[in-house]
């Protein structure tokens, strides 16, 4: 469980790893599409940002070409590939990090694997037609996330009888489905999906009980960076949510998360290292 084989690279999950977010979309909720202008300028900016995140301590760069913010509209397959693949090629050639592709699109999964991606991060848990088969063919680690509904509808009226139990049950079913299709369980990761079809109360319950996800026997990814669960509770805009986000990082690490997905890498790496140091002293 501690070593993930990510294409030509490996990831040691005996300690918590930080995944830096690199959005190449014009409508990201958190950065306003800052990387998205003309193609050559975007490539240079993306490479600079990836290098900076690795310098700050990120071991994974997560490249996304489709906005999955609440109410987001779908993007065409070709447009998503046009956004992601040039950035993937450039970063893979020049930055020493595991490159994760944040996608649900089978065509992009296949092509990204061919071009050197090391991981697939899918908010739809390989639910799109052909995605599971593409992931099996790619042979890369996959992060399976829970989402109630779709990005366009997920925040309209999320409802659960028991959010923790239902998220765990969904993820268990998806893990079994992937293993039956031919993916190695040792190469699978789970994400409870903070903010994806959950109210503030649902998110807080999931974070508080995150250790229950460890019963599934695979690494847990936590992604709360700049999300509305922080903004709604503290009354902060996305660029004012770092302090609240770091509190969620500490709690997630304490509860067993092994990958932390964030925008603010340097501060998060400090929080992770400090938390693990304290936990090491308490053992």
Q: Is 261 a catalytic residue?
A: yes
Burial of 194 (0-12, 13-18, 19+ CB in 10 A): buried
DSSP 3-state of 33: coil
**112 has a pLDDT exceeding 60:** yes
DSSP E strand stretches across 58-211: 60-64, 98-102, 119-122, 142-145, 188-191
Burial of 38 (0-12, 13-18, 19+ CB in 10 A): exposed
Q: For 185-236, how does the pLDDT look when each residue is reduced to its tens digit (9 = 90+)?
A: 999 999 999 999 999 999 999 999 999 999 999 999 999 999 999 999 999 9
Least confident of 66-70, 76-80, 213-217, 221-225: 66-70
Q: Check: CB of residue 128 under 8 Å from CB of residue 106.
A: yes
Q: Once rounded to an integer, what is the mean pLDDT over residues 74-90?
A: 94
**Alpha helices (H) along 115-182:** 131-138, 163-181
**Which is more confidently placed, 105 or 36?**
105
Which residues are paired to 6 by β-bridges?
Answer: 9
CATH 3.30.70.20 assigned to 3-282: no
Catalytic residue, candidates 83, 198, 226, 227: 227
Q: Once rounded to an integer, what is the mean pLDDT over residues 152-174?
A: 87
Q: For 44-63, how does the pLDDT look when each residue is reduced to its tens digit (9 = 90+)?
A: 999 999 999 999 999 999 99
> How do the domains of the chain map onto residue ranges?
3-282
Geometric angle at alpha carbon 98, from 96 and 101, rounded to 5°? 130
Sheet containing strand 221-222, edge to edge, reads 188-191, 142-145, 119-122, 98-102, 60-64, 17-23, 259-262, 221-222
Distance between CA 165 and CA 215 in Å, rounded? 12
Burial of 136 (0-12, 13-18, 19+ CB in 10 A): middle
In angstroms, the first-to-last Cα distance of the chain is 21
**283 has a pLDDT exceeding 60:** no
Query: Alpha carbon 267 to chain centroid distance?
Result: 18
Phi then psi dihedrals of residue 170, to 5 deg: -60, -50
Average per-residue pLDDT in the chain? 92
Q: For 118-146, how does the pLDDT look when each residue is reduced to its tens digit (9 = 90+)?
A: 999 999 999 999 999 999 999 999 999 99
Q: Please report the pLDDT score of residue 282 as a whole number.
A: 60
Q: Is 227 a catalytic residue?
A: yes
**87 has a pLDDT exceeding 70:** yes
In percent, the amount of the chain with pLDDT more than 90 equals 84
Residue 30's pLDDT band, with cuts at 50, 70 and 90, is: very low
Residue 33's pLDDT band, with cuts at 50, 70 and 90, is: very low
Q: Check: CB of residue 218 under 8 Å from CB of residue 188.
A: yes
Q: Please report the pLDDT score of residue 123 as a whole number.
A: 96
Q: Please report the pLDDT score of residue 38 as a whole number.
A: 45
Q: Please report the pLDDT score of residue 42 as a whole number.
A: 81
């Amino acid at each position: 469980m501690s070593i993930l084989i990510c294409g030509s690279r490996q990831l040691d999950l005996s300690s918590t790893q930080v995944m830096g977010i690199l959005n190449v979309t014009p409508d990201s909720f958190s950065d306003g599409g800052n990387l998205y202008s003309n193609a050559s300028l975007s490539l240079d900016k993306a490479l600079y940002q990836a290098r900076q995140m690795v310098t700050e301590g990120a071991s994974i760069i997560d490249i996304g070409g489709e906005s999955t913010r609440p109410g987001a509209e779908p993007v065409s397959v070709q447009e998503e590939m046009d956004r992601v693949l040039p950035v993937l090629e450039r970063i893979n050639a020049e930055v020493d990090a595991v490159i994760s592709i944040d996608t649900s699109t089978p065509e992009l999964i296949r092509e990204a694997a061919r071009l050197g991606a090391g991981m697939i991060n899918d908010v739809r848990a390989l639910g799109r037609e052909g995605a599971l088969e593409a992931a099996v063919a790619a042979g890369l680690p996959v992060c399976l996330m829970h989402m109630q509904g779709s990005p366009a509808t997920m925040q309209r009226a999320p409802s659960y009888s028991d959010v923790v139990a239902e998220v765990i049950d969904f993820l268990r079913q998806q893990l079994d489905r992937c293993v039956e299709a031919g993916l190695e369980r040792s190469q699978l990761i789970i994400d409870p999906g903070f903010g994806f079809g959950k109210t503030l109360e649902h998110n807080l319950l999931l974070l508080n009980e995150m250790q229950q996800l460890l019963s599934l026997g695979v690494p847990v990814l936590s992604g709360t960076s700049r999300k509305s669960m922080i903004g709604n509770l503290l009354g902060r805009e996305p660029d004012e949510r770092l302090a609240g986000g770091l509190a969620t990082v500490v709690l997630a690490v304490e509860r067993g998360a092994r990958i932390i997905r964030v925008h603010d890498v340097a501060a998060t790496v400090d929080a992770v290292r400090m938390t693990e140091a304290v936990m090491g002293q308490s053992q």
